[in-house]
Amino acid sequence: MTKLPIKISAKNVDVFYGAAHAIKSVDVEIADKMVTSFIGPSGCGKSTFLRCINRMNDTIDVCRVTGDIMIDMEDIYDRRVDPVQLRAKVGMVFQKPNPFPKSIYDNVAYGPKIHGMARNKLELDEIVEKSLRRAALWDEAKDRLQEPGTGLSGGQQQRLCIARAVATEPEVLLMDEPCSALDPIATAQIEQLIDELRSSYCVVIVTHSMAQASRVSDRTAFFHLGELVEYGYTSHIFTNPSDKRTESYITGRIG
Amino acid sequence: MQEQHISTAFDRDLEGIQSNIMKMGGLVEAAMIDSARALKNRDVELAERVRGDDKKIDALEMLINEDCARLIALRAPMASDLRAVLSVMKIAGALERVGDYAKNLAKRTSLLIGSATIDGSEGSLLRMIKEVEAMLGDVLNAYVARNTDLALAVRLRDHTVDQMYNGLFREILTHMMEDPRKISTCMHLHFIAKNVERMGDHVTNIAEQVIYSVSGELPEDARPKGNLAVADDL
């Protein structure tokens, strides 16, 4: 693959849940300003690997991560790295929309507030508007900013979560099956949004929908039984994959 | 052959399309053999039958295209499945063209009734048809067996057909210069020869599609060409 600025670089990463070996010496370099998708059958380790990138696995006691994961050449598992700061830089959107039980405004303003990103109400207002615009939710939400976020539709809630994630000015956006709870129209809106986010962020998306991976991503990584089997251009993976296991999976021959 | 899909209906759909391709291939082979025999024996009845049977070939092509469109829409085939569907559509198109040329050959046979046979040239022409027909048989076998070596071999044989055509072209030209009364017959024979040469090209295209479907890559090297310069100017 052509050389592009590398944002995330993983070397020899292994993950264990107790005795279970969930990720087996994965090496991968993820380019900046691109959408990279992780695909693979359930339990293949793709979500586990995604969660290593913002140290979400730290919250699981029995989980142990070895190897190096670097963002901008900095080891994110270094003892000096504050996971909270890291997660501001590496935002995450989950499968189910999970807005806080607060107003739309406060959902977006929460992150910038705790990270001290705004000096006054005016600046905070600006961040909220900018984030909601980025998440393509502003027009629908601007007249109801004080209403609860949970009152929005599923697709709107997911865009609210994206607005919340981008509010802290992250550099990397991780998405763990962001559309699997949404209808096709809301899915299309999120996919359109991902396409727009590509120019500003390094986006990594885990998806069960191969059609979605093929629609939104530039690069695709196929995981199977904890191994990174194949990683390459999305167009190549879906027309002429190099590995037999990739072929079998994407053509619906193994589960 | 290949592993089964988790969805057996997907396998059924793909197999259905592939069996239609084979059916179509069989009809085109028969059209070639029959049109050659009709020419040789000046058999108008057989020629008419070839012309009529071309409708079956056309109908199969339409059916295959419809099935492929449905499969793409409903099953979103990927990787080797996607290539299989894409190549099937192109193979069906190429077969339809070959069938058309056979029909055209039969049409000219009706026009040749009553005219004297052109010694030598007709024999060469029949040999050329036989060669292309053998290539078609082999490429269909290569398709079924997913045999890229056989497909590559077929592709290389197109060179022989081109050479046969060039030889025939000169022969026919000589006949016309020797006896202007033969010009009209010779013109028909030449058109037939040109059409058979084109059939060879389409069979070669099919061979390339077999290679693409199996390996994901088209052969890169330009295939050897007989010198067609003299003929292409006409």
Which CATH number is A124's domain given? 3.40.50.300
Nearest CA in chain B to A237: B79
Per-residue confidence band for A181, with pLDDT thresholds at 50, 70 and 90: confident
**A135 pLDDT higher than 50:** yes
pLDDT (average), residues A218-228 = 96
pLDDT of res. B226: 56
Q: Average pLDDT, stretch B122-133? A: 94
> pLDDT tier at A2 (50, 70, 90 boundaries)?
low
CB A152 within 8 A of CB A99: yes
Instruction: Give residue B173's pLDDT.
Output: 93
pLDDT band at B233 (very low <50, low <70, confident <90, very high): very low
As a whole number, mean pLDDT of residues B22-34 equals 96
> Could you tell me the sign of the dihedral formed by the alpha carbons of B40, B41, B44, B45, in that order?
negative
Q: What does the pLDDT look like over B63-77, one tens digit per residue? A: 999 999 999 998 889
Residue A60, in any domain of the structure:
yes
Segment A237-254 mean pLDDT? 91
pLDDT classification of B223: cutoffs 50, 70, 90: low
pLDDT of residue B137: 96
A1 within a domain of the structure (yes/no): no
- Residue A203 within any structural domain of the chain: yes
Q: What's the CA gap between A61 and A33, in Å, rounded?
A: 33
Evaluate whether residue A92 is within a structural domain: yes
pLDDT at B116: 74
User: Under 8 Å CB-to-CB from B19, ≥6 apart: which residues?
Assistant: none
pLDDT exceeds 70 at position A9:
yes
Q: Is B81 on the interface with A (CB under 8 A)?
A: yes
Token output for B59: 């109908």
Contacts of B117 (CB under 8 A, 6+ apart): none
A39 within domain boundaries: yes
Beta carbons of A253 and B4 less than 8 Å apart:
yes
Average pLDDT of every residue of chain A: 93
Predicted confidence at residue B8, as pLDDT, reads: 84
Residue B6 confidence (pLDDT)? 84
Encode pLDDT of A201-215 as tens digits: 999 999 999 999 999
Mutate to test the interface with A, among B5, B80, B85, B87 (most CBs of A within 10 A): B80
**pLDDT of residue B232 exceeding 50:** no
CA A46, CA B98: separation in Å to the nearest integer? 49
User: Does the pLDDT at position B88 exceed 90?
Assistant: yes
Cα–Cα distance between B220 and B215 in angstroms, integer? 12
The DSSP secondary-structure symbol of A153 reads -
Kindly report the nearest CA distance between residue B225 and chain A, in angstroms: 29
Is A255 a domain residue?
Answer: no
Between A84 and B220, whose confidence is greater? Answer: A84
What average pLDDT does the structure give for chain B? 90
| A249–chain B nearest CA distance, Å | 10
Q: Over the stretch B42-55, which tens digit does the pLDDT of each residue have?
A: 999 999 999 999 99
Check if the beta carbon of residue A248 is closer than 8 Å to that of residue A254. yes
Domain count, chain A: 1
B80 with A251: Cβ contact below 8 A: yes
Rounded to whole angstroms, the Cα distance separating B232 from B205 reads: 19
Q: What is the domain range of residue A182? A: 6-250
Is A137 inside a domain boundary? yes
**Cα–Cα distance measured from residue B173 to residue B121, given in angstroms and rounded to the nearest whole number:** 10
Q: Which residue has the higher pLDDT, B221 or B112?
A: B112
In this structure, how many other beta carbons lie within 10 angstroms of the beta carbon of residue B194? 16
Cα within 13 Å of Cα(A61), Cβ side: 0
Residue B170 burial (C-beta neighbours within 10 Å; 0-12, 13-18, 19+): exposed
- Residues B89-102: tens digit of each pLDDT: 999 999 999 999 99
CA angle A130–A133–A134, rounded 5-degree value: 85
B216 vs A: CB within 8 A: yes
Q: What is the mean pLDDT of residues B213-231?
A: 70
- Find, among A168, A210, A175, A214, the residue nearest to A41 by Cα: A210
pLDDT at B234: 41
Asked whether residue A210 is assigned to any structural domain, the reply reads yes
What's the Rg (C-alpha) of chain A? 18
Q: Which tokens in the block code for residue B30?
A: 């028969």
Whether residue B218 lies within 8 A of chain A, CB to CB, comes out as: no
Percent of chain A with pLDDT over 70: 98
Beta bridge partners of A26: A13
Rounded to the nearest angstrom, the minimum Cα separation between A216 and chain B is 16
Per-residue pLDDT band at A123 (split at 50, 70, 90): very high
